[in-house]
């Protein structure tokens, strides 16, 4: 994973609540075995509607997605995070994320920024008024600033997750440093636990 310190840029005001991962990337895209090539599938069904905000040329090149409550609900497909990243998004701002999506996003360096409902509503309205409005996210300081919208806020991100984003760490290598702890745990696992083979 690449390290992420700052995300700055224009935003796409999606604004809807309960955007599930079937909308972010429909299931027929999941038949592929590659890790890339998902950008054309992002919001595929909604993009067939010319009035869908992603089809508005003024928002082309946005680095931040502004979404409603419970973004990324439903299926555990990490393809949702991959499709967003490949489409140029580096962060999603929403009042609340579904747990698995949030975890998948963090594993891929897509910054999940949780802000209060009112703040997200303010940002959506401001970006709808002025598509060129810039938003800046500072991972180290856990802040979001958009002076033109009058927004200066902090967002929750635990120290561990923040460090992983800042350093772009390989989780597996980190865990394997604790090989002795894992082996010690394995030695005391109860005997009745099943083995598949």
Partner 1 sequence: MSTRLEEVLGFVGAERDRHLAEASGWPRTVILCAVGSTLSQKVWERHVVRRAAGEPDLVYIDLHLVHEVTSPQAFEGLRLAKRGVRRPELVLATMDHNVPTNEEPAEPISARQIAEMARNAAEFGIVCYPMGDANQGIVHVISPQMGLTQPGMTIVCGDSHTATHGALGALAWGIGTSEIEHVLATQTLAQPTPGTMAVTVDGRLPRDCAAKDVILGIIARIGTTGGVGKVIEYRGSTIRALSMDGRMTVCNMSIEAGARAGMIAPDDTTFAFLEGRPFAPKGALWERALDEWRSLPTDAGAAFDREVKIDARELRPYVSWGTNPAQTVTIDERVPDPDALATDARDAARRALRYMALAPGTPVRDIAVDAVFIGSCTNSRLEDLRAASEVVRGRRVKDGIRALVVPGSMKVKLDAEREGLDRVFQEAGFEWRGAGCSMCLGMNPDVLRPGERCASTSNRNFEGRQGPGGRTHLVSPTVAAATAIAGHFALPADLR
Give the residues lining the site for partner 1 (CB under 8 A).
Answer: 16-18, 20, 22-23, 26-28, 30-35, 45, 69-70, 73-79, 81, 96, 98-100, 103-104, 107-108, 158-160, 171-172, 174-176, 178, 181-182, 185-186, 189-197
- The backbone torsions φ and ψ at residue 114, rounded to the nearest 5 degrees and listed phi first, read -95, 120
Residues 138 and 155 sit within 8 Å (Cβ to Cβ):
no
In the complex, least distance from residue 118 CB atom to partner 1, rounded to whole angstroms: 12
Tokens representing 58? 């003024």
Cα angle: 78, vertex 156, 142; to 5 degrees: 100
Residue placing its CB nearer to partner 1 in the complex, 57 or 188: 188
CB of 23 to partner 1, least distance (A): 6
Considering the complex, state which of residue 20 and residue 56 has its C-beta at the smaller distance from partner 1.
Answer: 20
Residue 65: CB minimum distance to partner 1, A: 18
Residue count (the chain):
197
Cβ 96 to partner 1 shortest distance, Å: 6
**Which one, 94 or 133, has the nearer CB to partner 1?**
94
Minimum CB–partner distance for residue 127 and partner 1 (Å)? 18
Which residue, 104 or 119, is less far from partner 1 as judged by CB? 104
Q: Which CB sits closer to partner 1, 45 or 166?
A: 45
Q: Looking at beta carbons only, is 90 or 96 nearer to partner 1? A: 96
Query: Do 65 and 19 meet the contact criterion of CB atoms below 8 Å apart?
Result: no
Supply the minimum distance, in Å, between the C-beta of residue 134 and partner 1: 27
């Amino acid at each position: 994973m690449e390290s992420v310190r700052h995300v700055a840029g224009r935003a796409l005001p999606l604004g809807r609540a309960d955007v599930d991962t079937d909308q972010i990337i429909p299931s027929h895209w999941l038949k592929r075995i590659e890790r890339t090539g998902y950008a054309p599938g992002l919001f595929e069904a909604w993009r067939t509607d010319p009035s869908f905000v992603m089809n508005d040329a003024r928002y082309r090149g946005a680095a931040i997605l502004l979404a409603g409550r419970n973004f990324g609900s439903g299926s555990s497909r990490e393809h949702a995070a991959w499709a967003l990243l490949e489409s140029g998004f580096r962060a999603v701002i929403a009042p609340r994320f579904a747990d698995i999506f949030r975890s998948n996003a963090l594993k891929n360096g897509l910054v999940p920024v949780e802000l209060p409902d009112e703040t997200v509503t303010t940002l959506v309205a401001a970006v709808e008024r002025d598509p060129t409005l810039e938003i800046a996210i500072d991972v180290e300081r856990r802040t979001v600033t958009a002076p033109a919208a009058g927004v200066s806020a902090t967002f929750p991100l635990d120290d561990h997750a923040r460090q992983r984003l800042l350093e772009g760490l390989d989780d597996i290598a980190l865990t394997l440093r604790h090989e002795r702890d894992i082996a010690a745990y394995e030695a005391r696992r109860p005997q009745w636990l099943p083995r598949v083979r």
